[in-house]
Amino acid sequence: MMPLDRNYINPETDKDIVKNSGIPFQLDLIKDARVNKSAVEKRCVTVTNRRTVKKHNQAAWLLKAITCMDLTTLSGDDTERRVIRLCNKAKTPLRHDLLKSLGIEDIDLKVGGVCVYHQFIRTALDALQGSTIPVVAVSTGFPAGHTPKKTKILEIKEALSNGAQEIDIVISRRHVLSGNWKKLYDEISEYKEASGVACLKTILATGELGTLKNVIRASLVCMMAGANFIKTSTGKETINATLPVTLVMSRAIREYFELTEFEVGYKPAGGISSAKACLSHMMLLKEELGSRWLNPSLFRVGASSLLSDIERQIEHFSTGKYSSFNRHGIA
Task: Residue 172: give the domain boundaries.
Answer: 22-324
Residues of the chain scoring pLDDT < 50? none
Q: Is residue 17 part of a domain?
A: no
CATH code for position 293? 3.20.20.70
In a domain, 157, yes or no: yes
End-to-end alpha-carbon separation of the chain, Å?
32
Q: Residue 281 and residue 261: Cα distance in Å, rounded?
A: 23
Q: Coil, strand, or helix at residue 122?
A: helix
CA-atom Rg of the chain in angstroms:
19
Predicted confidence at residue 321, as pLDDT, reads: 72
Angle at CA of residue 28, ends 23 and 30, nearest 5°? 75
Report the pLDDT value the prediction gives residue 195, as an integer from 0 to 100.
96
- The CA distance from 318 to 315, in Å, is 5
- What pLDDT was estimated at residue 328? 54
Please report whether residue 245 resides in a domain.
yes
The DSSP annotation for 146-165 comes to: -S-HHHHHHHHHHHHHTT-S
Residue 153 lies in a domain: yes
pLDDT digits (tens, 9 = 90+) for 165-196: 999 999 999 999 999 999 999 999 999 999 99
Query: Active site includes 168?
Result: yes
Q: Is 19 a catalytic residue?
A: no
Give the pLDDT of residue 105: 85
In a domain, 218, yes or no: yes
DSSP 299: B
Strand order of the β-sheet with 229-231 is 265-267, 229-231, 199-203, 166-170, 135-139, 113-116, 69-72, 301-303
108 is catalytic: no
Q: Count the domains in the chain.
A: 1
Q: Which of 168, 192, 201, 309 is catalytic?
A: 168
Annotated catalytic residue within 152, 192, 231, 309: 231
* pLDDT at position 3: 55
Q: Which of 192, 201, 267, 309 is catalytic?
A: 267
| 8 A C-beta contact, residue 229 and residue 265 | yes
11 belongs to a structural domain = no
- Other Cβ atoms closer than 10 A to 4: 18
CB within 8 A of 300, min separation 6: which ones? 68, 69, 70, 112, 113, 201, 229, 265, 266, 267
Q: For residue 137, what are the β-bridge partners?
A: 116, 167
SS3 at position 307: helix
Q: Has residue 9 been placed in a domain?
A: no
Residue 275 forms part of a structural domain: yes
Q: Are 301 and 65 in contact (CB under 8 A)?
A: yes
CA distances from 51 to 38, 143, 179, 271, 280 (A): 20, 34, 37, 21, 8
Q: List C-alpha distances in Å: 38 to 57, 212, 241, 295.
A: 31, 11, 18, 30
Q: Is the peptide bond before 143 cis (omega within 30 degrees of 0)?
A: yes
